[in-house]
Structure 1
């Protein structure tokens, strides 16, 4: 505990020094990435590794559904627009599903966490995909109408596009319509977690992970009491498979839901939820409950291609791989 307090003190003492320019921060993160790569197996293109987690009767399932979905808004027929702009019935009509993008935004308007969720009402199944912040993605500049490729983390602030721009970017990347989207500030997430005294999470070994407001966090093996940014940092790590994996990601979400959404008084929870930017029908989401027997994690790890462009680090994906992921997200057997 003494070492942890000393480490936290050092982090806090240097926090101001870590608020560099965009170029300086990118350079620092580049160095962190190089260190992390020493502990990562080289990734090659292939089909995604998907881990099915049976969570029957789990509070995670109930909590996520209260937070993100409402049965009455699930369309009977899923409608999209074709390239000519005309409405057409989707190929997924037989298995109606709902898509939602949940994003966490830091105080620099960057989006380190992007969770794409699909839900089948008939199958009562949810699928979750976490997208790396460094993903090489098509981002629309609303000022001039042009699309440029950059890191997904910049999508919110790119051309002052905001939350809707994040949805457009992810939708274009996966060629998948997104019905609802919500952006929550990291500060709000942290406040939610702090309001219940933090989240307990067990780690199997000592690890160092990339952080958001500072360079990195170090965690000791065993039970760690986490704040909002620490939770986000661990989810980011699990997204790219550095120290953690899909199971850890689901367990972290489970812990957040159990300790906040299922514990906070309804009035306090509503106050936090109203701070979410986007088009989620917050009031109705909090009033409706759903039963969901299972949740499945869909991973991008097997398709990640580490890439350097103009000395900047990106994660790229082959088009065919992204198509296979979209099919997995929208296929409910």
Structure 2
């Protein structure tokens, strides 16, 4: 009975936390930092209804800047270069729909992963779809020694087998094969953003958002000069609903366009190539350049309406916050990701 009262209290507190009022935001972020230091198994997923909110845009995420859209930045230069010494790879026939997972992790924070972007691309329609998976998502992150599955936050998946395990975890979570993956360190993102002297972005209101290497960022209304972690923190806030109406997915797309615009105009191709070597990926830059993808439109598939806050009771005074999804909702999202009309 005591556990139930604690769970009800924590659950109610989590719903209030997600509103991020000025009075309680600092305590909320401190609490979430403490909760993430634990790992514990949990019961099965609960339920909620489905909703899909797509946005059509030209550019999506800073991770794409390095991994997917970088070939478009380098493509013309690559074709013009003579005697590059690049050895051609065998041409392999790829499926009509390609899937890619892009993950941002932080070595400074014990290789936790904070941004997870699952992309599907239709070669026929030349269309890209993207969904952002919250790092607090309850997921099958590893296999126990007794053959059972360890469930915990997606945040911790890298610890149990690196980039390959992150790919396997997301594939199991959504029941969808993943062709390519790339894990990017937050430090690499920061290098990219610092190279272009930060990203200027104008906020319509004051906002406090969860950070990574510290508790939070307090950003004031008006033009802000964002560093790499600031950019990723705003992406996290938008994709997880932590920014409420102050910074939603529409704002996120504007920010990402600003990042891409800076990268295209200010970063030399030689530096982008160097940044690519710092990725953990199962493909090569040569392969990406030779298999250049033409993208006519991009849609962001939102998970926000299907997010279910949940608490795992750890003790009389501690609980662990998760985001869960009803399995039918996940299936509907996968159908949307893999259907190109």
Q: When the two structures are superposed, what TM-score results if normalisation uses the length of structure 1?
A: 0.75
Match in the other structure for 1:329: 337
* Secondary structure in structure 1 of the residue aligned to 2:69: helix
Once the two structures are TM-superposed, the CA of residue 299 in structure 1 deviates from its matched residue by 0.8
* Secondary structure in structure 2 of the residue aligned to 1:166: helix
CA contact (8 A) 2:50 2:306 kept: yes
Q: Alpha carbons of 1:74 and 1:46: their partners in 2 closer, same or farther (altered >3 Å)?
A: farther
**What do the CA deviations read for 1:91-142 (whole angstroms, capped 9, x no partner)?**
xxxxx21110000011211000001111111111111111101000011248
Select 1:313's aligned residue among 318, 321, 332: 321
**What do the CA deviations read for 1:258-294 (whole angstroms, capped 9, x no partner)?**
2125531111111111100121322332566443221
Alignment of 1:176-325 (within 5 A): 176-243=176-243, 244-286=247-289, 289-310=292-313, 311-325=319-333
Q: Alpha carbons of 1:74 and 1:126: their partners in 2 closer, same or farther (altered >3 Å)?
A: farther
Match in the other structure for 1:100: 100
Once the two structures are TM-superposed, the CA of residue 249 in structure 1 deviates from its matched residue by 2.5
* Secondary structure in structure 1 of the residue aligned to 2:193: helix
* Secondary structure in structure 2 of the residue aligned to 1:50: coil
Select 1:117's aligned residue among 98, 116, 119: 119
Select 1:152's aligned residue among 148, 151, 154: 154
Q: Alpha carbons of 1:53 and 1:74: their partners in 2 closer, same or farther (altered >3 Å)?
A: farther
CA contact (8 A) 1:61 1:291 kept: no
CA distance in 1, matches of 2:267, 2:339: 34
Q: Alpha carbons of 1:75 and 1:296: their partners in 2 closer, same or farther (altered >3 Å)?
A: farther
Once the two structures are TM-superposed, the CA of residue 222 in structure 1 deviates from its matched residue by 1.6
Once the two structures are TM-superposed, the CA of residue 51 in structure 1 deviates from its matched residue by 2.3
Moved over 3 A (4+): 32-36, 60-70, 72-76, 141-146, 286-291
CA RMSD, 1 decimal? 3.0
Q: How many residues align?
A: 278
CA distance in 2, matches of 1:115, 1:180: 12
CA contact (8 A) 2:101 2:118 kept: yes
Once the two structures are TM-superposed, the CA of residue 257 in structure 1 deviates from its matched residue by 1.9
CA distance in 2, matches of 1:201, 1:234: 11
Match in the other structure for 1:47: 50
* Secondary structure in structure 2 of the residue aligned to 1:157: helix
CA contact (8 A) 1:63 1:262 kept: no
Q: Alpha carbons of 1:62 and 1:112: their partners in 2 closer, same or farther (altered >3 Å)?
A: closer
Match in the other structure for 1:37: 18
Q: Alpha carbons of 1:216 and 1:115: their partners in 2 closer, same or farther (altered >3 Å)?
A: same
Once the two structures are TM-superposed, the CA of residue 52 in structure 1 deviates from its matched residue by 2.4
**What do the CA deviations read for 1:19-55 (whole angstroms, capped 9, x no partner)?**
xxxxxxxxxxx9x967632359xxx822233222243
Unmatched segments (≥5 aa) in structure 2: 1-10, 22-46, 76-89, 314-318
CA contact (8 A) 2:65 2:263 kept: no
Q: When the two structures are superposed, what TM-score results if normalisation uses the length of structure 2?
A: 0.74
CA distance in 1, matches of 2:298, 2:115: 19
